[in-house]
């Protein structure tokens, strides 16, 4: 395949990168058990983070190479100041179809209006429980009502909301039906995520994973039967709804039904490192190229070459029976 004649980011498995996750900080105001290290966190040096101007420049390069959607992540992106300025810059890039944000919602409520005005298309809010005490146990802080206020404010502002819910056996798997009712009552898409070995705490085990199959069986027993909705094969969430059309649920079965063969995502960390796979340690330093004054054309060619080295994904790790806690740490890479 001649890369010079192909504007797309094509890897050696024939997958084309169309979505870019950009982490703007590794810091977070929560300490969720499935993500953040419980202690001795080595934060990135703040003066080594990409500026918003550098992020926008890289985003423009990626869009010129075929990226269609950008999601701003962290850590927790709202702990970095003026995130709305970045949203405005990104949303003005010609050819970019959408700019979205993933957040825990703690600092979100008062930013929703300005984020929407700045061009944010939708928002993913993490919520793993409807029980305040359990929320504190899972996240490390007493913030349940702040998150619910943010969700309700976003709905009032007509900003599309998706709920990200990590299901862990013995922690919150008894609340699956509650989340289903929430989706049916509010219209929010709820995405159930299988617990992945991206935990800084090192507690991950197969026994804590509640499979997509198990979740669907429970929902079918408690409600009317779920039916799959035709959606983009590259979307990690398999979407389902009910015959009455109330409620849309997504399942991200990274462990039990990995979807690596259709992956179209790449990631940039807050310090400017390109990760072609969430489960890969190898990365590529884009910030160094910016600091060295490389041209957009030179950076584009480097990115193309990096993409050709994208690995098969977690499916290879599973095949080798090499799943283990903390394969990578989510807060340092971005979701």
pLDDT value at position 134? Answer: 98
Question: Is residue 45 assigned to a domain?
Answer: yes
- For residue 3, what pLDDT is reported? 41
Backbone angles phi, psi at 330, to 5 degrees: -55, -40
| CA atoms of 65 and 289, how far apart (whole Å) | 17
**pLDDT (tens digit, 9 = 90+) per residue, 40-80?**
567 888 889 999 999 999 999 999 999 999 999 999 999 99
Please say whether the beta carbons of 310 and 15 come within 8 A.
Answer: yes
Residue 4 covered by a domain: no
Residue at 117 is within a domain: yes
Q: Which residue has the tokens 């690596």?
A: 260
Residues 6+ apart with CB under 8 A from 9: 16, 17, 62, 65, 66, 67, 266, 303, 304, 307
Q: How far is it, in rounded angstroms, from Cα 14 to Cα 304?
A: 13
Give the domain extent around 60: 12-333
Residue with tokens 């309700």: 152
Note whether residue 150 is domain-resident: yes
- Total of domains in the chain: 1
Work out the angle between the directed axes of helices 212-222 and 176-186 (0-180°, nearest 10): 70
**C-alpha to C-alpha distance for 168 and 282, rounded to whole angstroms:** 28
Tokens of 199: 């935990």
Q: Distance between CA atoms of 129 and 127, rounded to whole angstroms?
A: 6
Mark the ranges of the chain whose per-residue pLDDT is less than 50: 1-5
Residue 272 sits in a domain whose CATH number is 3.20.20.70
226, 216 in Cβ contact below 8 A?
yes
Residue 3 falls inside a structural domain: no
**pLDDT digits 0-9 by tens, 296-327:** 999 999 999 999 999 999 999 888 888 888 88
DSSP character string of 98-158: EEEEEE-STTTGGGHHHHHHTT--EEEEE---S-HHHHHHHHSS--HHHHHHHHHHHHHTT
Residue 209 within any structural domain of the chain: yes
What's the CA dihedral at 83, 89, 91, 94 to 10 degrees? -160
Residue 31 located in a structural domain: yes
Domain assignment present for 1? no
């Amino acid at each position: 395949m001649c890369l010079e004649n192909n504007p797309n980011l094509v890897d050696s498995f024939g997958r084309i990168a169309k979505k870019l996750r950009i982490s703007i900080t590794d810091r977070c105001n929560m300490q969720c058990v499935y993500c953040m290290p419980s202690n001795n966190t080595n934060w990135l040096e703040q003066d080594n983070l990409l500026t918003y101007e550098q992020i926008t420049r890289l985003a423009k390069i990626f869009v010129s190479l075929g990226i269609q959607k950008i999601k701003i992540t962290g850590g927790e992106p709202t702990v970095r100041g003026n995130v709305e300025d970045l949203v405005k810059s990104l949303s003005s890039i010609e050819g970019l179809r959408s700019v979205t944000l993933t957040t825990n919602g703690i600092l979100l409520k008062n930013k929703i209006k300005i984020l929407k005005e700045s061009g944010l298309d939708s928002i993913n809010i993490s919520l793993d429980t409807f029980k305040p005490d359990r929320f504190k146990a899972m996240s490390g802080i007493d913030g349940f009502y702040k998150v619910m206020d943010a969700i309700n404010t976003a709905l009032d502002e007509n900003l599309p909301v998706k709920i990200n819910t990590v299901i862990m056996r013995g922690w919150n798997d008894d609340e699956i039906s509650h989340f289903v009712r929430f989706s049916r009552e509010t219209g929010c898409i709820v995405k159930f995520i299988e617990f992945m070995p991206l935990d800084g705490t090192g507690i991950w085990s197969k026994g804590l994973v509640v499979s997509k199959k198990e979740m669907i069986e429970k929902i079918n027993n408690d409600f009317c039967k779920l039916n799959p909705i035709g959606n983009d094969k590259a979307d990690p969430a398999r979407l389902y709804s009910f015959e009455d059309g109330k409620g849309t649920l997504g399942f991200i079965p990274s462990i039990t039904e990995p979807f690596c063969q259709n992956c179209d995502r790449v990631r940039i960390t807050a310090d400017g490192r390109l990760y072609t796979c969430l489960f890969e340690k190898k990365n590529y330093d884009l910030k160094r190229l910016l600091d060295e004054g490389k041209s957009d054309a030179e950076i584009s060619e480097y990115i193309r070459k990096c993409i050709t080295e994208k690995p098969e994904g977690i499916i290879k790790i599973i095949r080798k029976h090499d799943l283990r806690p903390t394969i990578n740490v989510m807060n340092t890479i971005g979701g």
